[in-house]
Amino acid sequence: MIGDGLATDNPSAQTYIASQTSAQIATYLRGKSADAILTTVLTKLAPLGASGSGPIPDGAVVAADPIAAILAGNYRKVPMLVGNTRDEGKLFPTLFPFAGGTGSGRLLNDATVFSIANTYDPNAAPQSTLAQWIPPSYLPTTTPTTGFDAVANKLTQIFFLASRDSVLGAAQTQQSNIWYYRFDWAQEPAPFNEIYGAAHAFDLAFAFGNFGPSLYSNIEFTTANAPGRLALSDTMMRSIGAFARNGDPNNTSLGVTWPVWPATLVFDATPTAKAVSVQ
């Protein structure tokens, strides 16, 4: 709005917004190109830490109080298949201060990370070290409370597992056909098994059976870990397929019975074999 001459600063922009109807604001925003929106997000909102997005509880598409709606039974009670990776927080080390960290958990910016991942040879001897990636204050990674693993786990609890418990706890009052999994696979070549482990979205390649070129494939998948990950992927795909067909992910490839929530099915593998268990 400032760039378009509709306002001169943030206060006058807020005044202008207040003078417009929701329809007028929607028409204004929809008239902007994707490039204009992205440029504004990256140059104006990102420096303020306000570039994230999420569902908007507008009271129409999404209930104004989603948890209250679930508790009241005002939702579609379809079978639910829900999952997390064990180390969700390791993909978001810049957020470590929110989990009590002393600063960002990563020494490298995204451009450097992606450049390394693009050219890395996963089957060669390690070409990178933990000290190149993780600040000294988070090393050794296994240090209780202050180590990289501990702070990442706390971030996972705050941002991911708290939401899981909130939603599934409410849904459990209305239905029992809820299955939950945790993805624990962390067989990347060193040092990436510690840097990422079972990080956010690292289960997707297994769920889709797609181990071809991708953003992180060169730092995840090796010839040595192929037997175990392929066996694990096969079981995950069979479980998702069973759920899609029957509303229940149980199938013989699991080798165990997958109980409903609050039990957890753990998807994991060694380099040579799948390792599926129940907790």
| DSSP state letters, 102-150 | SS-S-SS-HHHHHHHHHH--TTSS----HHHHS-GGG-STT-TTTSHHH
Listed in order, the ranges of the chain carrying CATH 3.40.50.1820 are 66-278
Mean pLDDT of 11-16: 94
What percent of the chain is modeled with pLDDT above 90? 90
pLDDT of residue 48: 72
User: CA angle, 233 as apex, 230 and 238 as ends, to 5°?
Assistant: 130
Confidence (pLDDT) at 41: 87
**pLDDT, position 152:** 98
What is the pLDDT at residue 10? 87
pTM for the model stands at 0.85
Q: pLDDT tens for residues 159-184?
A: 999 999 999 999 999 999 999 999 99
Beta bridge mates, 180: 82
CATH no. of 66-278 = 3.40.50.1820
Band (pLDDT 50/70/90 cuts) for residue 139 is very high
pLDDT at 49: 67
